[in-house]
Structures are given as structure tokens and as C-alpha cells.
Amino acid sequence: MVTIKQVAELAGVSFKTVSRVVNKEPGVKPANIVKVEKAIQQLGYRPNKAASLVRKKQSDIIGFISDEISTTPASVAILKGAQDMAWEKGKTLMVFNLDPNNPDKDKLYEECLQHRAEGIIYGAMYHQAVSFSKLFKTLPTVLVNCISTDNDFPAIVPDDEQAGYYITKQLLYKGYRKIAFLNLNPQIIAAKQRQQGYIKALNEYGIAEQNRHISAIETVINGETINIASKVAKQVISEFKPDAVLCGKDLAAIKVYFVIERLGLTVGKDIGVASFDNWHDIPEILEPGLSTMALPYYEMGRLAVSRLLSEIKKPGDISEYKMPCLLCDRASF
């Protein structure tokens, strides 16, 4: 195994200089950095992280407890953003996935403590309220895509009300005046806030009650969420006869496209369609392309790491930050 001493001899610098370059410490001459990096590459030297942890007071490890984030194509971008920011800050992101059959948050928090994590990020698959034990107060902790039921942790969430308001305003701006909102399960935070934004925009434009409609495309049976988008879309489009449909998520928009086609109508011409998520490749695969509000998952992941590092240095800020969503404008309305 290649040692620091061998790197130092090849680079023609001191042992301490190599150590400072490896640990990204300031005060090393640029010329010496080049020499050391060249010697490291030539010898194939790899730093001993375990030994480094013993010497240093801080581990440079951030624990990330994931509640199904890593298994969901849309929200996995949270992890990607957190990983990129951690890397830029010289930190290692250690990810622990909750077992959906036995979601023991405290057990994973203990794992983070055992690995000497400097702080913890807890991330959820969708915008929701989560309860935490006192154990989560042990280290600086930041929540992403969720909030605490007691509002006692800093949190980063998408601004779902802004998203609902903005996309409804865009539909209204383009002349649509009879917009049906096929919302998600009305019990979840995102659905409630997006509906508030939808109503706010309609009120500003003076849209009459008879020209607005809200239905849920999800129902909960025995604790399981069932998608009923096709059935609801067919009924609403046939009976309410909207000139535009706002879908609670892109996966529902696919079914709305099929219903519209079966009814002999054309998306973007006879009826406008808008949505939320910008989920993977779906919006671009659909014809015409789906205009949808992109949830800022990648940016939320980056901000979670940045916020956690600030919390480690100066704890006490438990405010909730709502990150704006952006419209990916295509051709569906």
C-alpha cells in the first residue's frame, strides 16, 4: 500500500505538505499542490479515511435518512443534489434507507451517530408532516420535502401553493376560463396548498363558481392510495366540459391524455392540459409535450446540505423554507 511518505519523496516535499494537500487545508503553494497531485496520481495513493477520522475532531460525514426517496425516480433528485453539494463542501454523504415494512427512524439515527456524522438530513418521498423522537435533537438536523409535526426543525419544501397559483395564472393568461382541477389525495399537504393557489388565481380573475371544478383523482381504501384518474377525468370532461384540465401529477396527466383522445378531442387544441412534477421523461414523451410545474428536488437537496452546514456552525434556525417551482412550458396548453 502506498504511503504519504512515498508520495512526499516522489513530489520532493515534506510529509506535512502532502497531508495538507490531501486534507484540502489552506496555505500550500500552488506549485507544491501540483507536485503532490501528480505524485498521488502516479503512485495511485488513496487516503486512509479511518486514520483521518481518528486524527480529526470532525468526521466530514453527513447522514442522510431516506424515506423511500432513493426508490422514486422524481424525488431521487433530492439525493443527487445533496450528494453534489456535500462533495463540493468536502463532505461525505452517508445514505440510510428506511425499511418500508419496519420504518424505524431512530435506529437509522443511531447508525448515523455511530458513524460520527456531524449532522443529519431527513428526506421524504413527498411533501408531508413527520413526527420525530427526542433522539433527533442529538445532532443538527434538517428536513427536506417534509416538515415536523411540532415545527421544531429547519425544513426545505417545495412551494406548492405558489406552484398551483402560477400554473393556474398561466392557463388564465392564455384564455382558459373553465379550468377543472383533478387534485391528489386531499389529505396531503401538497394537494391542499396547490388547491389554495388554484383558488387564489381564479379569484383574482373573477372566475365564477360554476366555471371552476375540483375533484380528487386518488382515494384511500384501508390505508392504500388508489388512483382513479381515468374514471374521474372521463366524468369531469364529459359533464363539466372544461376548456382546460389541471392534473395533480404527471402520471395522472397520462391517463387524462388517453381519456381526451377516446372522447375524440385533441390536447392543446380542443382542451388544455397542465400538471405538476416534470416527472422523468413523461412530459416530453407525451404528444403534445406536457406543460408542467417542475418540483425543485435537486435544488432542495443542495440547499439541505448548505442549510445543515450553517446549522452545525450556528444552530437555532428552525424556519421553513419554501422553494419556488418553475414551469416547464411545452405545448399542452
Q: List the grid coordinates of 82.
A: 445533496
How many helices and strands (H and E) does the chain possess?
Answer: 12, 14
Same domain, 103 and 204: no
206, 285: one domain: yes
Who contacts 247 (Cβ-Cβ below 8 Å, separation ≥6)?
182, 217, 229, 253, 256, 273, 274, 275, 276
| pLDDT for 266 | 98
The verdict on 227 and 254 lying in the same domain is yes
Number of domains in the chain: 3
pLDDT reported for residue 57: 60
pLDDT, residue 15, reads 87
Domain span including residue 50: 4-55
pLDDT value of residue 53? 54
What's the pLDDT at 59? 80
**For position 183, which CATH number holds?**
3.40.50.2300
Domain co-membership, 51 together with 114: no
Q: Are residues 129 and 79 in the same domain?
A: yes
Distance CA 82, CA 183 (A): 29
Shared-domain flag, residues 181 and 302: no
Report if residue 16 sits inside a domain.
yes
CA 97 to chain CA centroid, Å, is: 15
**Could you list the mean pLDDT of each consecutive 10-residue stretch along the chain, which spans 333 residues?**
88 90 85 92 78 63 91 83 96 93 93 94 95 96 97 97 98 98 95 98 98 96 89 98 98 97 97 94 95 97 98 93 97 97
Residue 332 lies in a domain: no
CATH number of the domain that 35 lies in?
1.10.260.40
